[in-house]
Amino acid sequence: MLRVRCLRGGSRGAEAAHLIGAMLGRAVTGWVQRAFQSTSVAAAAQPRHAAEHVTEPEQQECPVCSYNEWDPLEEVIVGRAENAHVPAFTVEVKANTYEKYWPFYQKYGGQSFPAEHLKKAVAEIEEMCNILRHEGVNVRRPEPIDWSLEYKTPDFTSSGMYAAMPRDILLVVGNEIIEAPMAWRARFFEYRAYRPLIKEYFRNGAKWTTAPKPTMADELYDQDYPIRTVEDRHKLAAEGKFVTTEHEPCFDAADFIRAGRDLFVQRSQVTNYMGIEWMRRHLAPDYKVHIISFKDPNPMHIDATFNIIGPGLVLSNPDRPCRQIDMFKKAGWTIVKPPTPLIPDDHPLWMSSKWLSMNVLMLGEKRVMVDANESTIQKMFENLGIKTIKVNIRHANSLGGGFHCWTTDVRRRGTLESYFH
């Protein structure tokens, strides 16, 4: 079985550094730019036989390295609830929210989330960070930003939303951080909160890729997307119709889930086929991207529908069955159906469903961060031999995510392997 360990710049970067070191007759250090600038001068001055005296440059661990959802977690980005704002009630937001909450968006769109609720969410996430640190995980945070500021592009005007869900915007594949282009206008500039962190990781050896940024012009959205009832949603989803068109590539990172050399993705309200194809070409030939689909009236982000929690082990939402589940069974995977969530009906979930109960964060193959209120899913994990780290983020759930959504794993201790045959 092929195993690859991340080194600074990846395996190809290590080979390149070794080659340059052999040509220069000394170890290569510092930024790649400085190495290239010095190459021409050193190559002219150094005799060819000097390569015999080369000592191999010191190999350093890349600060970014994660291949799957379950290897031992060493460093994670946790989002911020501070300054979070309700997005304006535009067509793409309407298509991704439930009818019972439409009056909330009509009232609060462009304003802060209710202050008391937000205060509780901030406190919950701070405690979550403390627990992660106690579990030996290094925690990083995005920058606090004023999301109330209005901005204008040649195609639209909007204000911001939040930097609460790094899983939506950042995808780590090996030693590469990929910035997703996003699909909501309110999230157009969300990347700004993460740029200081990403630049730091880049300076220390990580690869950094920004996917093509969509214009988010009117043509990206079906302005007449006919949503009135849940039945409408089911019908449209069954017909493969979504609010986003194929005008230009768009995707949220949270529509992808990783299992070594294989990534699985759904076409959703925020991820179109052009975006999936961009990712497929970008990651080929080292990784394969598989499109899967679900009986889901409102597909948006895969990790509360299909959450891979171990090698050949996946949580599959019983309310949203996977249409391609047989291919996982043929590959020898174990399919686990999580129990019905216990969250009460009167708790506001403005941007998600109750199935955030399965939106868990694996701290390792045998440790999971899980909702402290969800006793039935805790029991399910215990029956699987997985220790539960119980944390309460009930008010933070209201902003649209569980533990997986609120985080992006930057570094997990593991190797690149194939789990899907």
Q: Which residues are catalytic?
A: 252, 301, 405
Task: For residue 174, count other CB atoms closer than 10 A to its CB.
Answer: 21
| Helix H or strand E segment including 311 | none
Q: First and final CA of the chain: distance in angstroms? A: 12
Amino acid code (one letter) for 221:
Y
Instruction: Give Cα 245 distance to the centre of its chain.
Output: 22
Instruction: Give Cα 196 distance to the centre of its chain.
Output: 18
Contacts of 218 (CB under 8 A, 6+ apart): 155, 156
Task: For residue 231, count other CB atoms closer than 10 A to its CB.
Answer: 9
Q: Is there a contact between 76 and 410 (Cβ–Cβ < 8 Å)? A: yes
Cα separation of 155 and 283, whole Å? 30
Q: What strands, in cross-sheet order, belong to the sheet with 367-371?
A: 361-364, 367-371, 387-391
| Helix H or strand E segment including 98 | none
